[in-house]
A and B are shown apart, each in its own frame.
Chain A
Amino acid sequence: MAGGAGEAGARAVSPPPLRGLQLVQQGAEARLYRGQFLGRAAVVKLRFPKRYRHPALEERLSRRRTAQEARSLLRCRRAGISAPVVYFVDYVSNCIYLEDIVESTTVRDYITSVQQSGKDTNNLFLLAEKIGEVLARMHDEDLIHGDLTTSNMLLRPPVEELDLVLIDFGLSFMSGLPEDKGVDLYVLERAFLSTHPNTDTLFEALLKKYSTTSKKSSLVIKKLDEVRLRGRKRSMVG
């Protein structure tokens, strides 16, 4: 099926060089396709040109983000953090060809379904701890994800095993600063609590596990507290 399917109403862009792949998602930043690549189930992330950007900036930015994403995925794997395997990077069209985590469930969908069914709620605490642990290991590698949400975390089937895979490293970067790690956690906190109602204790469990897993956590949590005070609709008095 041509990659053009499902793009009704979208601005005319140059035809994707991705024949036989199905468009899965259109984001602000990139388009996601699914299909076979070299005999494997693959996902292709295409950073399409943004016409509103100056062309020189566009080229550099897209390439930098593509390279950064590939680099971060490798770094994750080297540190034993589950992230998709990179099959090929095309720096001409700024496409990454990645392992498709087949039949995975996003953590977001999992939490929602468990809350709705009311069954296995204990698993949610285990999941929160698992996430805390993985993020701690990631931050200990000085890798900042940059866009932590429960939609950017996948669970391989069977879901109960809580086999977590991190995805979407498009905004990732390297940093040892507790501030950056604190902000990374804050982004997750805001996304978590706004997407999943009544999960304060869950997130607390996540942070607790993070603290016990990471060697550098105390400074990070301190920064997280500071960032929370800085957030939107917060009084900066005193």
Chain B
Amino acid sequence: MQHFTHQLELFPDCSVTLVLFNDVKNAVALRKKAMEGSIDGALINPAMIVDPLQILVATNKAVHLHRIGKMKTRTLNAEIIFNLSPNNNISDALKKFGISDNDSAVLIVLIEDKEKTVNLESIISQVEGQQVSLAELHKITDIAKVKKMYRLTPQEEKIGTLLDGIICRMSTKDIA
């Protein structure tokens, strides 16, 4: 099945893999595993994601800050989720962009670099759900919820896509 991998240009030893699941039955258990660390990945609510680029932008920033020791959160995975948010409230970000107990769709972001390899099969086997291609993401995205979260202005929608507005907010929120 189609997962999505991208090697970060600024950190060539680092590659990001996105895996999407639908009809997930064990969100509660997955959340627990992620918090304990037995799943070393960021578990994201795919309803809030409009495009893999959104995740890549969040991840790139997270890896950058991690490498210079300036993350706002405690772990790389939490930092990825936090970077998706247009504001600087950490717990709000984790709540809105992380997965909830009754979510049926989950997007897992896995980072691999010199120090860490990823066992994709092992991760997939722990999810009680159907792995689907990232191409199916648009069917899962809740556009209304996304628009409400990122609060694009009507003028902004005229000069660019929703994704453009989202990325701008993500990348400039620390100095906006």
A residues whose Cβ falls under 8 Å from a Cβ of B: 17, 19-20, 35-40, 67, 70-71, 73-74, 77-82, 85-90, 92, 99
A87 near B57 with CB under 8 A, answer: yes
Binary interface encoding of chain B residues 147-176 relative to chain A, with 1 for a CB under 8 A from any of its CBs, else 0: 000000111101110001101110110011
Instruction: From the candidates A67, A74, A80, name the one contacting B155 in the complex (CB within 8 A).
Output: A80
B57 near A38 with CB under 8 A, answer: yes
Contacts of B66 in A (CB 8 A): none
- Given A80-B158, A87-B167, A88-B61, decide whether A17 and B10 contact each other with a Cβ distance below 8 A: yes
- Given A38-B6, A79-B155, decide whether A90 and B171 contact each other with a Cβ distance below 8 A: no
B68 near A92 with CB under 8 A, answer: yes
- Given A38-B6, A80-B155, A80-B156, decide whether A88 and B12 contact each other with a Cβ distance below 8 A: no
Decide yes or no whether B76 CB sits under 8 A from chain A.
no
Contacts of B95 in A (CB 8 A): none
CB<8 Å pairs between A and B, sample of 11: A36-B9, A38-B57, A67-B175, A71-B175, A79-B153, A82-B159, A86-B172, A87-B171, A88-B64, A89-B175, A90-B64
Q: What's the Cα separation between A37 and B159 when bound, in Å?
A: 21
Decide yes or no whether B56 CB sits under 8 A from chain A.
yes
- Given A20-B9, A81-B159, A82-B159, decide whether A38 and B60 contact each other with a Cβ distance below 8 A: yes
A78 near B153 with CB under 8 A, answer: yes
A19 near B167 with CB under 8 A, answer: no
B residues whose Cβ falls under 8 Å from a Cβ of A: 6, 8-10, 12, 53, 56-57, 60-61, 64, 68, 153-156, 158-160, 164-165, 167-169, 171-172, 175-176
Instruction: From the candidates B56, B64, B175, name the one contacting A39 in the complex (CB within 8 A).
Output: B56
Q: What's the Cα separation between A71 and B173 when bound, in Å?
A: 9
Q: What's the Cα separation between A38 and B175 when bound, in Å?
A: 22
Q: What's the Cα separation between A153 and B6 when bound, in Å?
A: 33
Contacts of B57 in A (CB 8 A): 38, 87-88
A88 near B160 with CB under 8 A, answer: no
B172 near A85 with CB under 8 A, answer: no
Q: What's the Cα separation between A90 and B56 when bound, in Å?
A: 15
Instruction: From the candidates B56, B156, B159, B172, name the one contacting A89 in the complex (CB within 8 A).
Output: B172
**Smallest distance from the beta carbon of B9 to chain A beta carbons, Å?**
6
Instruction: From the candidates B10, B56, B68, B159, name the one contacting A77 in the complex (CB within 8 A).
Output: B159
A38 near B56 with CB under 8 A, answer: yes
B158 near A71 with CB under 8 A, answer: no
A86 near B167 with CB under 8 A, answer: yes
Q: What's the Cα separation between A86 and B172 when bound, in Å?
A: 8
Q: What's the Cα separation between A37 and B171 when bound, in Å?
A: 14
Q: What's the Cα separation between A79 and B157 when bound, in Å?
A: 10
Q: What's the Cα separation between A74 and B160 when bound, in Å?
A: 12
Contacts of A99 in B (CB 8 A): 164
Contacts of A73 in B (CB 8 A): 168, 172
Contacts of A82 in B (CB 8 A): 159-160
A38 near B53 with CB under 8 A, answer: yes
Instruction: From the candidates A37, A39, A86, A92, name the one contacting B168 in the complex (CB within 8 A).
Output: A86
